[in-house]
Structures are given as C-alpha cells and as structure tokens.
Amino acid sequence: MNLQETHKKEVAKWDLLAAQATDEALLLRPNDDFRRYSERTSTMVGVNEFLGDLTGRRVLEIGCGLGEISALMAKSGAEVTAFDLSRNSVLTTRRRAVLNDVDEQIALVVAAGEALSFADESFDVLFGKAILHHLDVNLGSDQLFRVLKTGGKAIFVEPMGMNPVLKFVREYVPYPNKNPRGEDRPLNYEEIYAWGRGYQEYNFREIQLLSMIERGLGFGKRINILRRLDDLLLDRFVFIRRYCRYIVMTMEK
C-alpha cells in the first residue's frame, strides 16, 4: 500500500472516532494537567522526568488525535502546536481546547508527519503517543529532526510489534476499550533505531511485559506484583525485552 492510500485509511478511521466525541467526553478532569496524566498512565514511564517543566516551552504534538494530550500540555503551561492527518480530529481538538479554556495556547494544523511545513528548529519539545508506528520512518524521521531546536528534546511512547501472541491479540481478540485498527504497524528494532538517527543522545526503554495483562483485562488500576516482576525480568534477561507491549524513546538534539 502506498503512502497516499495509507493516509486515506487513517483519515477515515480518525474521522469516525472524532464524529463519536461528545462535549462531556472532551472535558478534562478538574485540575488535571500533563504531569498528572503522565503519572497515572502506565505507558508514560519516565516522561515527566525527561521533559521537566513545560511552562513557556514550544511543544509540537505529533498526531493530536482527539486532542487530550494537547489540552493537558497547554494546562501545564506549554505553547502547543499540534497536527493530524484528519481534519475532523483537528476540529475536535479545537473543540476540546475551547471547552477546557486553553484554545489561546494551542495552534492546530492539518498535516502529515512525513511532510511538515514548520520552519527548521521551531520547537523546544516534540511529543507523540502511539504515532510513529503510523508514519514512514524514512520520510518522517528527517522531518521531526529538522523542526526540533538544537538542544531540544523529543519523546515518543510507541507500541512494539515483535511479540507474536500480542500481535494475534491486537488483530483478533476483543478487549475493553480496544481502539479500531488502522494502517499502523507496531515497531520493530530496525525502525526503533532508525527513528533515533542523528540525535546527540538517543535512548529507549521497553516496558510492559507481564503487566500488559492490565490492558487486556481493562483494569483501571495497576497490578503492582506484575510491575515488580517486569522490572526484575527485563533487568536480568535482555533478550525478552523484544516481547514487551510498549517502548519509550527519548532523543536530545
């Protein structure tokens, strides 16, 4: 499938999700912000520690979806620019920003990650959650590197695609709050390394081995014994890291 066809299918998926969004669902929790969101979200391991205070920093969110993270970053004091392929997603993000009184802090664009119109070195921070695996790494990596300022930071939280059991579950097994599949392809190590090309510092951490069960069961809380077992196993047995559900990738330019 060529890039144009992939984009068309992704737009259709996100247009449908945007059409289902209600005003009630778009409201943030009282006093919520990006830091609190990151602290409670199981896949956002190390995000707060890496990014630090967002106040006054120019942040680009790659693929804003329905705008939750853009609004949360604005609540944390960032000057947010966000884009998405889906015009309806961008409109929904604008609606969410207005509902949460952060519309003056968020600029929105309809765009593809492989072809950005922003000037070189425009942003202090790049952030994306489950977005890189939707992009063509050979086109997208150069674009993201280009728009990040020298000395700037980028962090991405991405699904991994090397666990055959997990792959089967994603394709065929229903579970609570499962998102519809588009044309995404969870990352392998070749792609993971490719996204880090050119940065002065590039690190990644695989997360959620046994604790991915939490997601499958639809639990709203952590199962601490699974988290402790993950820490133990992933520290001692490097070869099993490839079977994790997610990876956190950090870059400094």
> Going residue by residue through the chain (253 aa), what tens digit of pLDDT does each one get?
688 888 888 999 999 999 999 999 999 999 999 999 999 998 999 999 999 999 999 999 999 999 999 999 999 999 999 999 999 999 999 999 999 999 999 999 999 999 999 999 999 999 999 999 999 999 999 999 999 999 999 999 999 999 999 999 888 887 666 677 666 789 999 999 999 999 999 999 999 999 998 877 765 567 889 999 999 999 999 999 999 999 999 999 9
Does residue 34 sit within a domain?
Answer: yes
For residue 181, what pLDDT is reported?
Answer: 67
Half-sphere exposure of 28 (CA within 13 A, CB side): 27
**Residue whose C-alpha is closest to residue 83's, from 51, 50, 60, 58:** 60
**Two structure tokens written together for 68:** 């939750």
For residue 194, what pLDDT is reported?
Answer: 98
Beta-bridged to residue 249, according to DSSP, are: 156, 204
For residue 222, what pLDDT is reported?
Answer: 77
For residue 174, what pLDDT is reported?
Answer: 76
For residue 239, what pLDDT is reported?
Answer: 96
Tell me, what amino acid is at 253?
A: K
Residue 53: exposure state from Cβ atoms within 10 A (0-12, 13-18, ≥19): exposed
For residue 52, what pLDDT is reported?
Answer: 97
Give the domain CATH number at 13: 3.40.50.150
How far apart, in Å, are the Cα atoms of 207 and each of 129, 155, 157, 193? 14, 15, 10, 17
For residue 245, what pLDDT is reported?
Answer: 96
Which DSSP symbol is given to 28? P
Which DSSP symbol is given to 29? P
Q: What are phi and psi of 195, to 5 degrees?
A: -65, -20
Beta-bridged to residue 115, according to DSSP, are: 112
Query: What residues contact residue 127 under an 8 Å CB cut-off, 6+ apart?
Result: 51, 59, 60, 61, 62, 69, 73, 154, 155, 156
For residue 6, what pLDDT is reported?
Answer: 87
Does residue 82 sit within a domain?
Answer: yes
Contact yes or no for 211/223 (Cβ under 8 A): yes
Does residue 60 sit within a domain?
Answer: yes
Does residue 132 sit within a domain?
Answer: yes
Does residue 7 sit within a domain?
Answer: yes
For residue 215, what pLDDT is reported?
Answer: 76
Cα(128)–Cα(111) distance, integer angstroms: 14
Does residue 193 sit within a domain?
Answer: yes
- Tell me how many domains the chain contains: 1
Does residue 150 sit within a domain?
Answer: yes
For residue 176, what pLDDT is reported?
Answer: 67
Does residue 228 sit within a domain?
Answer: no
DSSP for 108-165? Answer: EEE-BTTB--SPTT-EEEEEEES-GGGS-HHHHHHHHHHHEEEEEEEEEEEEB---HH
Q: What is the pTM of this model?
A: 0.94
CA 177 to chain CA centroid, nearest Å: 17
Q: Which domain holds residue 80?
A: 3-206+245-252
